[in-house]
Amino acid sequence: MSSTNHAENREVQQDARAWADFTGIKYTAALRQITSPYAQGFLGDRVSARHLIAVLDKHELVGAEPDGPILSDNGFYADEPWRFDGKTDYVRLALVVDVLRMFTPTPAGTAPEVSSYRLKHTAERFLDPHCSYVSNGRLIWAAAALGLDMVEPDGGSLNLLIGISEREHDYVRRTIDSGRTAPGGHHHRPAGFDHLQAALGDCAAGRPAGPAWIRPTRAEVEAPFHDWLTAQAERDDPVGDFAGDYRAGVHDSDHRIARTPSELLSILYDVTPSPAAYDAGVSAIAEWFNASPTAEPVRTDLISSDSDNVAGYGAGAGTVERYRYRCPCGDGQIVEEHDNVPGFREHDLQIACGKCDDEWRLAPGRATRDWGLLPVT
C-alpha cells in the first residue's frame, strides 16, 4: 500500500471516529457515511468531518459562545439540540457543501444578499431525489465550513445572509422550480451547475465519478454593442426605455446578452416586442452603426434552404439554390438565390418584406453570399 493511500485511509478513519463521537453513533455507521460515494466531493475535496465539527465551536459568527452553541437545525441563535439520524447526516452536509461550491462567492466588500432559508430550499430542490431535506441550520453550517461570507440581517433572525452570487442563485431557482419561467439566457448559470448535475446522476446510476472539477477562470468576453446599449438606459426617450428593458432582461436572465445587433434581433424574435419597442430597437441599432461605422452589418437567422435540379438549356444540367432568412421585423423573409446552371449563372438577393425594405438597406460592396443589412437613417 502506498504512503498516499495510507494517509487517505488514516484521514477517513479519524473522520469516522470524530463523527461517531460527535453524533453518538457507532464507528461502523459513521464510516459508512464518510465513505459514501455521495460524500466524496463532486466539486472539490471531501469535506473533513473534523473541520465541520470544529466550525461549530470556532467560527467567528456561528461558533459556540461560553454558555453553549448558537446554531442548530432551526438556524442562527436557535438553542434546540441538533437532530441526527445516524445514517445520512454527514452525507447530506457534504452534498450541501457541493451545492454551495457550485456558486461564485461574493467578492470581498460585497454585502451578502441570499437568505439561508431561501438557499436551503434551493439546495433541497437541486438535490432531489438524492437528498430530500436540508435544514436551515445545516445550510448555514455548510456555508461556515466553506468560509463563505455571512451576515446577520437587520432586526435579527434565525436566518443569515450568505455570500454567493444572487444572480446565479436566481438562475438556479428558475431552472429547477417548475412553477417559474425557465431562464431565457444562461450568462448567470453557475460554473459548477452542469458538472454537479451530471455527477449526481452518475453516482445514482452506480457509475464512477468523472474527472475532478476545476473552477474555470472567468474570462471577460468583449461585447461592445451590449456595453453601448446598456449605457443608453439612462436616456429619457424611446431608445432609453428600450435599453432599460434590455438591461433588466439581461439582469434577470430573461434573455441572453446581445454582443452584436444581429444577436439583438434574434432576442427580439424570441420575446415578441410591441411594434413601438421594435422600432426603438431599430433606432438603437441605427445609432450604434452611426457611432461604429466599421461594425459588421446585420445578418438574420436562417429559416430554410433547398436546392432544385435543373436540366439546363443545352449547356448542361445544374442547380438552383435558395436560402430563406428572417427579415429584421420577423414578418417576412430575405431570399438569397443562386442559379448554378451553365450559361445562366446568376445570384440574387431580395428583402421580401415591405416594412423591412423601407427600413433596411443592403450593405454595399459585399458578395451575395456575404450579404449584410444596415438600417436606413
The pLDDT-based confidence of 373 (bands split at 50, 70, 90) is very high
Q: What is the pTM of this model?
A: 0.85
Does 266 map to a domain? yes
Same-domain status, 161 and 247: no
Q: Which three cell numbers stand for residue 266?
A: 434574434
What is the per-residue pLDDT across 109-124, written as a single tens digit (0 to 9) for each? Answer: 899 999 999 999 999 9
Q: How far apart are CA 160 and CA 111, in angstroms?
A: 12
Same-domain status, 157 and 255: no
Same-domain status, 165 and 194: yes
What is the per-residue pLDDT across 90-110, written as a single tens digit (0 to 9) for each? Answer: 999 999 999 999 999 999 889
| Residue 68 per-residue DSSP state | B
Residue 257 three-state SS: coil
Q: How many CA atoms lie within 13 A of 228 on its CB side?
A: 20
The pLDDT-based confidence of 313 (bands split at 50, 70, 90) is low
Q: Which residue matches cell numbers 439546495?
A: 123
Domain stops at, among 291, 326, 349? 291
Does 168 map to a domain? yes
Decide if pLDDT at 64 tops 90: no
- At position 159, the amino acid (one-letter code) is N
- Of residues 330 and 309, which shows the higher confidence score? 330
- What are the angstrom distances between the C-alpha of 218 and each of 99, 187, 190, 214, 224? 19, 11, 11, 12, 18
Counted domains in the chain:
3
- What are the angstrom distances between the C-alpha of 66 and each of 57, 153, 160, 204? 10, 23, 21, 43
Q: How far apart are CA 225 and CA 289, in angstroms?
A: 10
Same-domain status, 229 and 110: no
Q: How far apart are CA 186 and CA 171, in angstroms?
A: 8
What is the per-residue pLDDT across 164-199, written as a single tens digit (0 to 9) for each? Answer: 999 999 999 999 988 888 999 999 999 999 999 999
Decide if pLDDT at 219 tops 90: no
Same-domain status, 141 and 88: yes
Query: Can you say whether the dihedral through the CA atoms of 59, 64, 69, 75 is positive or negative?
Result: negative
- What are the angstrom distances between the C-alpha of 192 and each of 7, 44, 70, 371? 29, 10, 31, 40
Does 111 map to a domain? yes
The pLDDT-based confidence of 309 (bands split at 50, 70, 90) is confident
Query: Which of 142, 131, 162 minimizes the C-alpha distance to 98?
Result: 142
| Residue 208 per-residue DSSP state | P
What is the per-residue pLDDT across 328-371, written as a single tens digit (0 to 9) for each? Answer: 999 999 999 988 877 666 888 999 999 999 999 999 999 999 99
Same-domain status, 113 and 151: yes
Same-domain status, 180 and 147: yes
Q: Which three cell numbers stand for residue 62?
A: 456561528
Does 216 map to a domain? no
Same-domain status, 235 and 311: no
Does 358 map to a domain? yes
Per-residue confidence (pLDDT) for residue 43, from 0 to 100: 96
Same-domain status, 193 and 150: yes
Domain stops at, among 266, 291, 316? 291
Domain membership of residue 327 as a residue range:
302-375
Q: How far apart are CA 200 and CA 194, in angstroms?
A: 10
Query: Which of 105, 212, 116 minimizes the C-alpha distance to 165?
Result: 105
Same-domain status, 91 and 34: yes
The count of other CB atoms within 10 Å of the CB of residue 105 is: 18
Mean pLDDT for the chain? 91
Per-residue confidence (pLDDT) for residue 45, from 0 to 100: 94
Same-domain status, 284 and 306: no
Does 231 map to a domain? yes
Does 101 map to a domain? yes
Decide if pLDDT at 317 tops 90: no
Does 317 map to a domain? yes
- Measured between its terminal Cα atoms, the distance across the chain in Å is 77
Domain stops at, among 171, 204, 237? 204
Centroid of chain to Cα 61: 30
Centroid of chain to Cα 68: 40
Same-domain status, 278 and 332: no
